[in-house]
Amino acid sequence: MSAAQSATPLRARSRLAAIREAAPHPTRWRHIVGYMLAVYRREWQGSVFSGFIEPIVVLAGLGIGLGVLVGDKAAEITGGVSYVAYIAPALMVSSAMNLATSEAAWPILARVAWVRIYHAIIATPLNAADVMVGAIAFIVGKVAFAAAFFAGVLLITGITTSPEGALGMLAVSILTAFAFGAPMAAFSVTQKSDQGFAFLFRLIITPLTFFSGTYFPIENLPFAAQVLSWCTPLAHGVALSRALALGTPLTNLGIHVAALLLWGIVGTIAAIYLFRKRMLK
Amino acid sequence: MGMTNSAPEPAALIRARGLTKVFGERTAVASIDFEVRDGEFFGFLGPNGAGKTTTMRMIAGVSPRTSGTLEIFGQDPDLHGSEIRGRIGVVHQQETLDMELSVRENLLVFGRFFGMDRAAIATRADELLELFQLSDRAKDQVEPLSGGMKRRLSIARSLIASPRILMLDEPTTGLDPQARHLLWDALQRLKRGGTTIVLTTHYMDEAEQLCDRLVVMDQAKIVAEGSPRQLIAEHASREVLELRFPNGTESIDVKVLEGIGDRYERLAERVIIGCENGEAAHARALEHGLDPESWLVRRSSLEDVFLRLTGRTLDE
């Protein structure tokens, strides 16, 4: 009966059981997605603007307004296409980033620290890992939905002409949502209030759009800024999305995809680890 | 499992031996032993910080123990947590409801976490809303509900998968007396229906009214165990005489106090005397020249048990 007497195989079995207890279950995370969908059905009106309308307003404003200003010079940067066609695939990815990070901020912090429903959920058969995997999966799914809408608008307006390109952009937006949503979730589960978010959004997330090749090529930046830029997921997402949309040759495809996946996977593991640390005291 | 436990009668659903939890320097639970039997109403009584909530968290499988053994349904929560949690309903001390969902949706969503199918959840949810008198608020959002209603919804939610054990952490803290009594009635009905209930409380009357058996916890340890009646019989005298001295009790002679009843406790403004006959003890007190501002005689309660065991009152 006592641990000291138990033979090694039993101890090994126990260790395996303990790991199984901590690891995400193959399917239980989907109930978190179901829960978030139930919440979303109640409050979708609130997020329609930020998720769906805002990116299109930005595209129209910058594409047309800035496009006129840039005028003929645009071709030098864009390699021949219109300025709006140049920034559209990048804006789609940076919108994915914005939506994924904000969805992984307040909604997660609230459930950890304010309404505390996560405390109740980990007292059900779901464990902390299931909760994090489900929360991240919902964020990625929500971004996919918004990105599909954006891609549809681009196709209808003729800004993007190739359906394959639109599908490619959608895939990149999903990867980008994963690359930002998971690390952001990891940050959120460590927070006691939302003060940290203001700092993060103002100093990192918002400026990222300008330094990741969205509006002008990364090559226009000083070398140090270029290096820094490639260390973040957005530059990789922008490069991929633009190449796929414009049909320009893709260099370093594997590196871009790997960088986005790495951010997402490491972020997910960190989120599970930090969430467990906070909840299972 | 290769082992059949020689279970005592009736079978223990929860069994702890030397259960210990240490947070850094602080020992929250210091090697406690207890058993919760099938179908009983079991209580952890003690002041805030005694280790009750930590013990509950260990049972619920959300707080790994530091040492000792703990079995729920004969299984170790560190190794079979998910399975165990599937058969336990947990009600937290602070509300953990989703404020954006409706009352009924809160139940529906939770049923899915237990792997129930939608039809079964819907039936069960309506049953619980009826049982907890929330049917007419089913479609409303949670936020505007009263404290008592929110607490009833939390309990209804914890029962969605018809758990064998219901665990409640300080279930009536912050409720008005009427809401408290309504909740007590609901819990009694559940117990009659066969649910094993474990609760923590720092309210004496709650423990006395509800619990078949309880342990008294103080400073991370169990200091007494038994039914409320047993505990009172063992650790307190039949009646209690309370004498009030608003100007303080320090000046009263020990010899005088010892002569009045079986035992006494001296508090800041009260002297509590355990005795067989409160009226007679009061008469003796006056004979000894005591001049209390007011006095009362009552039956001994768990409060007196706690006072006797720890030398302190529960709300200190």
pLDDT digits (tens, 9 = 90+) for B14-39: 999 999 999 999 999 999 999 999 99
pLDDT score of B301:
87
Instruction: Give the span between the Cα atoms of B152 and B138, in whole angstroms.
Output: 13
Q: Residue B133 phi/psi, 5° resolution?
A: 55, 50
Q: List B residues 17-56 in contact with A (Cβ-Cβ < 8 A).
A: 23
Q: Kindly state the DSSP code that residue B118 receives in the 8-state scheme.
A: H
Rounded to the nearest angstrom, the minimum Cα separation between B6 and chain A is 13
Q: Is A214 left (phi over 0), alpha (psi -120 to 50) or beta?
A: alpha
Query: Which stretches of B43-163 are DSSP H helices?
Result: 52-59, 77-85, 103-113, 118-131, 147-158
Report the residue of chain B nearest A43, measured CA to CA.
Answer: B100
Q: Give the best residue of A40, A43, A124 to mutate against chain B (max B CB count within 10 A).
A: A124
Phi and psi at residue B110, to the nearest 5°: -65, -35
Give me B212's structure tokens.
């078949």
Considering only the beta carbons, identify the residue of B85, B100, B105 that sits closest to A123.
B85
| Joined tokens for residue B133 | 């008198």
How distant is the Cα of A55 from the closest Cα of chain B, in angstroms? Answer: 26
The CA-atom distances, in angstroms, between A46 and each of A49, A60, A116, A168, B298 are 7, 22, 22, 28, 59
> CA A204 to CA A206: how far, in whole Å?
6
Amino acid at A39: V
Radius of gyration of chain B (CA): 23
CA distance B9 to B54: 27
Chain B residues whose CB is inside 8 A of the A116 CB are: 92, 94-96
> What pLDDT was estimated at residue B10?
61
Does residue A4 have a pLDDT over 90? Answer: no
Rg (chain A; Cα; Å): 21
pLDDT tens by residue, A211-237 = 999 888 888 899 999 999 999 999 999
Sign of the alpha-carbon torsion through A210, A216, A217, A222: negative
What number is the ipTM of this complex? 0.90
- Minimum distance, in Å, between the CA of residue A7 and any CA atom of chain B: 13
Cα separation, A114 vs A105, whole angstroms: 13
CA-based nearest residue to B100, from A115, A188, A113, A128? A115
Distance (Å) from the alpha carbon of B316 to chain A's nearest alpha carbon: 27
Neighbours of A272 (CB within 10 A): 25
Question: Would strands B213-218 and B41-45 be described as parallel, antiparallel, or unpaired?
Answer: parallel
* A74-107 tens-digit pLDDT: 777 777 788 889 999 999 999 999 999 999 999 9
Chain B interface test: which of A117, A131, A138 (most B C-beta within 10 Å): A117
**Spatial separation of the C-alpha atoms in residues A89 and A170, rounded to whole Å:** 9
Contacts with B145 (C-beta within 8 Å, 6 or more apart), sequence order: B103, B137, B153
Show the 3-state SS of chain A. Answer: CCCCCCCHHHHHHHHHHHHHHHCCCCCCCHHHHHHHHHHHHHHHHHHHHHHHHHHHHHHHHHHHHHHHHHHHHHHHHHCCCCHHHHHHHHHHHHHHHHHHHHHCCHHHHHHHHHCCHHHHHCCCCCCHHHHHHHHHHHHHHHHHHHHHHHHHHHHHCCCCCCHHHHHHHHHHHHHHHHHHHHHHHHHHCCCCCCHHHHHHHHHHHHHHHHCCCCCCCHHHCCHHHHHHHHCCHHHHHHHHHHHHHHCCCCCCHHHHHHHHHHHHHHHHHHHHHHHHHHHCC
| Chain B environment of A21 (Cβ under 8 Å) | 78-82
Confidence (pLDDT) at B9? 54
Pick the residue from chain A with its C-alpha nearest to B3: A1
Residue entry with tokens 């599970």: A272
Compute the distance between CA of residue A70 and CA of residue A73 in angstroms, rounded to an integer: 6
Please state, in angstroms and rounded to a whole number, the distance separating the CA atoms of residues B288 and B172.
43
Cα(B229)–Cα(B203) distance, integer angstroms: 16
The Cα angle at residue A68 between residues A63 and A74, in degrees rounded to 5: 80
CB contacts < 8 A (A, B): 87
Q: Which of B80, B82, B90, B166 to mutate to test the interface with A (most CBs of A within 10 A)?
A: B82
A134 → chain B, closest CA residue: B113
Contacting residues of B for A36, CB less than 8 Å apart: none
Question: Using a CB-CB distance cutoff of 8 angstroms, which residues of chain A are in contact with residue B105?
Answer: 38, 42
What pLDDT is stored for residue A6 in this prediction? 44
Task: Give residue for tokens 């809408």.
Answer: A149
- Mean pLDDT, residues A230-253 taken together: 93
pLDDT of residue A47: 76
Indicate yes or no: CB of A117 within 8 angstroms of CB of B98.
Answer: yes
Q: Which residues of B touch A34 (CB under 8 A)?
A: 109, 112
Task: Report the distance separating Cα B215 and Cα B67, nearest Å.
Answer: 20
Q: Are B291 and B309 in contact (CB under 8 A)?
A: no
What is the predicted pLDDT for the residue at A73?
Answer: 74
DSSP B8: P
- Calpha distance A66→A210 (Å, rounded): 14
- List the single residue in B63, B80, B110 with the smallest CB-CB distance to A281: B63
Q: How far is A29 from chain B (nearest CA, A)?
A: 9
Successive 10-residue mean pLDDT values, chain B, 316 residues: 49 95 96 96 93 95 95 94 96 95 98 97 97 96 94 97 97 91 93 96 91 96 94 89 91 86 88 91 91 92 86 68
- Cβ <8 Å between B3 and A119: no
Peptide bond just before B10 cis, omega within 30 deg = yes
- Closest C-alpha among A48, A58, A136 to residue A93: A58
Q: Are B79 and A120 an interchain contact pair (Cβ–Cβ within 8 Å)?
A: no
Pairwise CB contact (< 8 Å): A116 & B95: yes
Give tens-digit pLDDT for B60-116.
Answer: 999 999 999 999 999 999 999 999 999 999 999 999 999 999 999 999 999 999 999
Q: What is the mean pLDDT of residues A231-250?
A: 93
Residue B110: strand, helix, or coil: helix
pLDDT at A52 over 70: yes
Decide if pLDDT at A7 tops 70: no
User: What's residue B262's pLDDT?
Assistant: 87
Q: Give the residue numbers in A contacting B (CB under 8 Å), as ranges.
A: 1, 14, 17-18, 21, 25, 28, 31, 34-35, 38-39, 42-43, 115-117, 119-127, 279-281
- The C-alpha atoms of residue A188 and residue A177 are separated, in whole angstroms, by 16
pLDDT of residue B60: 93
Cβ contacts (< 8 Å) between A35 and chain B: which residues? 98, 109, 112-113
Region A59-87 average pLDDT: 80
Question: What distance in Å separates residue B165's CA from the closest CA in chain A?
Answer: 13
More confident residue, B48 or A7: B48
Distance CA A214, CA A184 (A): 21
Angle between helices A163-188 and A128-156 (to 10 degrees): 150
